[in-house]
């Protein structure tokens, strides 16, 4: 069983691949700065959550 942090990193990788497929398919042409903030926000919340759940799981 992998750690919560590894799971989050894997999920973020999948999210990026999904986004790249979304862009290559020319489905949307969004504002690049908004997308950067979106992905950074997801990454920060996910990593903080994984650390929090790892501490709860250890005790």
The overall average pLDDT reported for the chain is: 79
Task: Give the domain extent around 16.
Answer: 4-58
- Mean pLDDT, range 27-54, rounded to an integer: 77
- Is the entire prediction scored with pTM above 0.85? no
Please give the tally of structural domains in the chain. 1
pLDDT > 80? residue 23:
no
Higher per-residue confidence, 52 vs 58: 52
Tokens of 57: 């799981």
């Amino acid at each position: 069983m992998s750690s919560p942090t590894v799971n989050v990193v894997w999920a973020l990788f999948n999210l990026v691949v999904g986004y790249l497929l979304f862009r290559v398919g020319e489905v949307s042409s969004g504002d690049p700065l908004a997308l950067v903030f979106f992905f950074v926000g997801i990454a920060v919340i996910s990593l903080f959550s994984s650390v929090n759940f790892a501490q709860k799981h250890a005790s």
